[in-house]
């Protein structure tokens, strides 16, 4: 295997790993998942809260405003977990 082939193979491998790792974020907002507040570890939140707009910026473990996506029904089983309703679900409840 020459140097150019090795470089191409390495680049392809790195890309494959990056794309595979990104599939964990693909469930965000999909049916069957809910936002669970109060259980994210520092640096492991899924989205913005507390004045920041990015995932992975939670400063403390268990912050009540930080959240992660979990499969529906899981949050209620976690100590300190509170389901954060989406605006759409809250509006649907208000209309009924």
The continuous run of DSSP H or E covering 83 comes out as strand 82-84
d(CA 25, CA 43): 15
Look at residue 15 in the predicted model and tell me its pLDDT: 42
Round to the nearest angstrom and report the end-to-end CA distance of the chain.
Answer: 66
Parse the chain into domains and list their residue ranges.
Answer: 1-28, 31-95
Cβ within 8 Å of residue 28, ≥6 positions away: 46, 47, 69
- The tens digit of pLDDT for each residue in 5-56 reads 665 554 445 444 444 444 445 455 678 999 999 999 999 988 877 777 788 8
pTM: 0.58
Among 41, 18, 30, 39, residue whose Cα is nearest residue 72: 30
């Amino acid at each position: 295997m020459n140097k150019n082939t090795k470089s191409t193979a390495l680049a392809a491998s790195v890309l494959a790993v990056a794309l595979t790792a990104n599939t964990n974020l693909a469930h965000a907002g999909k049916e069957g998942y809910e936002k669970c507040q109060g259980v994210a570890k520092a640096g492991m939140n899924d989205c913005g809260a507390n004045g920041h707009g990015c995932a992975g910026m939670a400063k403390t473990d268990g912050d009540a405003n930080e959240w992660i996506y979990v499969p529906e029904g899981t949050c209620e089983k976690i100590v300190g977990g509170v389901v954060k309703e989406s605006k759409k679900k809250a509006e649907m409840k208000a209309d009924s």
